[in-house]
Amino acid sequence: MQIAVMVSGGGTNLQAIIDAIDSGKITNTEICLVYSNNPNAYAIERAKKAGIPYAVKSPKEFADRKDFNEALLQILKDANPDLIVLAGCLVVIPESVVKEFAGRIINIHPSLIPSFCGTGFYGLKVHEKALERGVRVSGATVHFVDEGTDTGPIILQKPVMIQPDDTAEVLQKRIMEQAEWKILPMAIDLIANNRVKIVDNKVVIDGYCDLSL
């Protein structure tokens, strides 16, 4: 399976995918493209070090958002991935891309959807809201992408306990380490090995998944 990974920042989830492919935790998978909307994203350096093709195209380069959307769609069509992985991508995915790759885009979100998700919930804002609300458990979710925001069928979730003295930054790091970097590679491997199906807008996984890791 060929995957395109879309990123906007440091690329820690990208690195988790690269490491999981190298170690054999993700099988039958190769990264054919790393895309970033941010020319200064460290994720691009990660791609270079791993010898992975990459593309950088920012909406700021275009006078019209429609032109950017068309350019992004063309970049992805040229890469021809079997699966697109949103791994900390802060660009709103155009409807044209969602339609072109229907059922073939997944996203990692740093909460237990449907909590703390949707428009405006990204990055540290998710964790700030969780702490503000006083919840005891947060976590991460891998889901398919549809036309909504964080509304597609859920593939995997992993809970992470919140500690009394957590800051948003500390909680973000724990959720990355204990949840995101584990369930995103696991979801990719499940899809690469044809173990994931969508039935009645819900995900059915063939076989057992050990989320205790």
The answer to whether position 76 is within a domain reads yes
Give backbone dihedrals phi and psi of 88, rounded to 5 degrees, phi first.
Answer: 85, 45
Query: Residue 208 class from Cβ within 10 Å (0-12 exposed, 13-18 middle, 19+ buried)?
Result: exposed
Range list of H helices, 88-197: 95-100, 124-133, 168-175, 181-192
DSSP 179: I
pLDDT given at position 208: 77
pLDDT given at position 122: 85
Nearest to 126 by CA among 179, 203, 83, 184: 179
pLDDT given at position 177: 96
pLDDT given at position 212: 66
What is the domain range of residue 73? 2-205
The pTM (predicted TM-score) of the whole model is 0.94
Which residues of the chain are modeled with pLDDT < 50? none
Query: Residue 90 class from Cβ within 10 Å (0-12 exposed, 13-18 middle, 19+ buried)?
Result: middle
The answer to whether position 210 is within a domain reads no
Residue 188 near residue 21, CB atoms below 8 Å: no
pLDDT given at position 31: 98
The answer to whether position 78 is within a domain reads yes
Which residues carry out catalysis? 109
Tally the domains of the chain: 1
Range list of H helices, 51-123: 65-79, 95-100
What is the domain-level CATH number for residue 197? 3.40.50.170
**Which residue type occupies 3?**
I
pLDDT given at position 123: 85
pLDDT given at position 28: 97
pLDDT given at position 11: 95
The answer to whether position 213 is within a domain reads no
pLDDT given at position 124: 87
Query: Residue 74 class from Cβ within 10 Å (0-12 exposed, 13-18 middle, 19+ buried)?
Result: exposed
